[in-house]
Amino acid sequence: MDESLGVELAPDSIVFHTYPFPGARVHPSGAVPWSEVVEVEPDGFPPEIRLAGETLFISADRAIELRREAAAHGVPSVTRLDVWGLLLEPFLDTTFSPAEEERTLARIERLGIPRREAKRIRKRVETRMLAYNAICWEWVHLGMWDLFQAHLPHPLIGAIFGDDAFRELYRWAQEIAHRALAATRDTPAVTP
């Protein structure tokens, strides 16, 4: 997780001084009023700020402050199943048994992503995620943040996307994440 994200949790808004992902409403900088924040996940990897249709990330060192400010603004702090964490599981630096792989696919299906679509999603991001994790050697969690990081230009793995293509990837990934979130809205989220 890049700890250099410049974020200010201001009284009326969350101000992003630097945000690395083209396509984000706050790229390269911008603000989101607290009134537009649906929920936050301070314990996410990294912490997440969820709006209607978009998830934004902040540095892990701001998690306690995010939880406090969200509570002050009446925004729920929740923990939800991470669909991108499940989708990117095959790219972790570890192995999974066929039974574990089956459980993961079943969980993805419960989040509204059919098995065939999950396999297509994985195929679409496979090359870049393998290259990314060949450098990171992450064995615990890869999520949407990592998906975006993997598709940004990198000195060792180069650039395959211009800003327009990255924006399309960003939109597509956010749509998948929020479709899965919508599938869980009727079940209570765990409030940490």
Specify the residue for token string 């990255």. 166
Average pLDDT of span 73-79: 95
- Can the peptide bond before residue 22 be classed as cis, meaning omega within 30 degrees of 0? no
The pTM for the full model equals 0.88
Residue 56 forms beta bridges with which residues? 49
Residue 103 has pLDDT above 80, yes or no: yes
> What per-residue confidence (pLDDT) applies to 187?
56
Domains of the chain (ranges; CATH) run 6-72 (2.30.29), 83-184 (no CATH)
Side-chain-side CA neighbours of residue 79 (13 Å)? 7
- 72 pLDDT band, cuts 50/70/90, is very high
> What per-residue confidence (pLDDT) applies to 71?
97
> What per-residue confidence (pLDDT) applies to 95?
87
> What per-residue confidence (pLDDT) applies to 156?
56
Q: pLDDT tens digits, residue range 19-64? A: 999 999 999 999 999 999 999 999 999 999 999 999 999 999 999 9
- The single-letter DSSP state of residue 77 is B
